[in-house]
Chain A
Amino acid sequence: MTHDKITIKDVTKQFIVKHSIVTALKDVSMTVHEGEFVCIVGPSGCGKTTLLRILAGLETMTSGRIEMVHSDRNKPLNSMVFQDQSVFPWLTVRHNIGFGLKCRNVDQKEIDEVTARYIKMVGLAKFADAYPYQLSGGMKQRVSVARAFANDPEILLMDEPFAALDEQNKIMLQEELLRIWEGSNKTVVFITHSIDEALILADRVIIMTSHPGTFKATVDVDLPRPRTISTLRGKEKFNTLFMELWNILREEVWKAKQSEGLTYEEGGPGTGPAGETCEGSVICDESDLVM
């Protein structure tokens, strides 16, 4: 936990939209330690996906500096789990999971072994030779997670991988992710808009603001591991951290909404019904704000 794995220094990203410059990220800086699980939480449109895509090498930055320590040349530096449906429709579950290994020309015998292990780990043994159109949304996302893990990268980048899933599936997959990750010593940067999810998974939560995207606060999550939803939910500490994060975030979300011309009926980000009703649910959706 002492080595710095990712160092991000003053990263700025600007897009040109209809002849005007939009700043998606402004002077973002952070350090992620080796083996650390970091969640980035922020309102939608705050640039968190952009940051992750820059880390994944899918997007360039306008200015700034990113350093990622690549300690084992035999392993890929990072692999990403995408938010949307990203499992190749033309490959079976087995071949989807082995995709990264195949691209790296790993020995076929080893690919078979590794793939079989992860198919089992995500509970898809019966569907190893099924095509994605035969799978449910939750199963596809399992394939996507297994594909990233099977590639055995040093850093995992996860872009709201469970956002599109229903509540039951989400909880199952969060626990599966924890179980697989806890035995792996991988560094994870996980993006979410759910405080709950961040608290369940992360060692550290970073809160982002929007327009332009900057880092606002960092909160350490010193909850014991291994974690499961049932051991976490009842804990006083969990609730305290939830309120701490929500209080930071609420102000942000409120500011963002105010700039869009929306107002609270209760008159602002103080204590009130808005805070109470949001406890335990996903935040940042309009439905939670204008009630």
Chain B
Amino acid sequence: MATEDPLRSKVLTGSQVGELSAGTTFVATAERPIDASGKVKGRFSLGPRANRVLGLLSPLLIVALWETASQTGVVDARFFPPPTEIAETFWHMLTHDAQGTPLPFLNMLTESVLMKDLWVSLSRIIVGFFLGAVPGLIIGLSMGLFRPVRLLLRPIVSATYPIPKLALLPLVMVLFGLGETSKYVIIALGTFFMVLINTMAGVLNLEKIYLDVAKNFGASRTDFYTRVAFPGAMPLIFTGLELGMGMALLLIVAAEMNGAAEGIGARVWMSYAIYNLREMYVAFILIAALGYLFAEGLAALERKVVPWKPQ
């Protein structure tokens, strides 16, 4: 009897069951055949292209509402400039240098206000990120693999991790000056803890049996790092990298608040000082774009590096 089929069981509930006379052959048929385009008939579903369109619909709707509200004066256009004006500013910043001179197309990528801000912040984020992620990874693996290392370092990590990195900014500036180094250091600090804690958790979450296998098969100390702990903890290492990246974006704005002439963070504070909110919104767009690109990049890298995780 095909009574286990959830679709069919409906037919067989209640008094209807009794109506099936003895000797009836019950034939189960698929009530929801899947057609060639991968849709299940009878259920609300769109093709993959339509799904993507649906995902774009809500941001477009918000932008349209914003534009109308700002143009009609429902919201204050000084605080919420219409998106078209922001786009105009965006274009101006992309095509002109700091003196307001128009740039030939080829020089835009390096000399325009917008691209300069972008490159400066990007290099700070990348350098700081690696300065934090690499030691975070190594110490995290060591703390996960070796109990004495864990016992030795855990109190320090637990005590320093909760200190808001923003609170450390003045100290970092005193120690490392107002130049690039202090920016690298503050971003590195934020990334370091995220990567360290997640890497350690990744190793500690490994089934003990994998360590037994490695030991029985004669793995050296290096093998424990490179062949067991590192690949095994990889999914959580990526979680750490993603959180570290978020932290870096958060800290860059604060780090560029003082003593920086260029960079996305500096742009936010300068536009605040001169009350040019349109430029501030352009900076927001840049930060959002960076965050999106980093997240997508890390996700693509993860698919490549961790092909063994069932999707």
Contacts and interface: CB of A to CB of B under 8 A. Distances in A.
Contacts of B228: 88
A6 to B, nearest CB: 16
Given A86-B209, A90-B234, A100 B218 contact: yes
B219 interface: yes
Interface string B204-234: 0001011011111111100100011001101
Contacts of A88: 210, 213, 228, 231-232
Contacts of B210: 86, 88
Given A84-B209, A86-B213, A88-B213, A103 B218 contact: yes
A79 B212 contact: no
Contacts of B306: 90
Contacts of A92: 308
Nearest to B223: A103
Contact of A131 (B213, B218, B220, B307): B307
A58 B212 contact: yes
A116 interface: no
A50 B216 CA distance: 14
A79 B217 contact: yes
A237 interface: no
Interface in A80-121: 80, 82, 84-86, 88-92, 99-100, 102-104
B221 to A, nearest CB: 11
A84 B228 CA distance: 17
Contact of A132 (B209, B231, B308): B308
User: Which bracket fits the contact residues of B?
Assistant: 20 to 34
Contacts of A214: none
A56 interface: yes
A57 interface: yes
Nearest to B212: A58
A151 interface: yes
Contacts of A58: 212, 215-216
A245 B220 CA distance: 42
A102 B308 contact: no
A132 B308 CA distance: 8
A76 interface: yes
B217 A100 contact: yes
B186 to A, nearest CB: 34
A90 B217 contact: no
B231 A90 contact: yes
Interface string B279-311: 000000000000000000000000000111110
B217 A99 contact: yes
Interface in A131-180: 131-133, 147, 151
A57 to B, nearest CB: 7
A117 B274 CA distance: 74
Contacts of A131: 307-308
A99 B227 contact: yes
B227 A56 contact: no
B242 to A, nearest CB: 19
Contacts of B223: 102-103
Contacts of B219: 103
Nearest to B224: A103
A78 B215 CA distance: 11
Contacts of B227: 99, 102-103
Interface string A47-62: 0000000001110000
B213 A82 contact: yes
A133 B308 contact: yes
Contacts of A90: 231-232, 234, 306, 308
Interface of B: 207, 209-210, 212-220, 223, 227-228, 231-232, 234, 306-310
22 contacts: A56-B212, A56-B216, A57-B216, A82-B209, A82-B212, A84-B209, A86-B212, A88-B210, A88-B213, A88-B228, A88-B231, A89-B232, A89-B308, A90-B232, A91-B231, A99-B217, A100-B217, A103-B214, A103-B227, A131-B307, A131-B308, A151-B217
Interface of A: 56-58, 76, 78-80, 82, 84-86, 88-92, 99-100, 102-104, 131-133, 147, 151
Given A91-B308, A103-B218, A104-B218, 18 more contacts: A58-B216, A76-B218, A78-B216, A82-B213, A85-B209, A86-B209, A86-B210, A86-B212, A88-B231, A88-B232, A90-B232, A91-B231, A92-B308, A99-B217, A100-B218, A102-B227, A103-B217, A132-B308
4 closest pairs, A vs B, by CB?
A90-B231, A100-B217, A131-B308, A133-B310
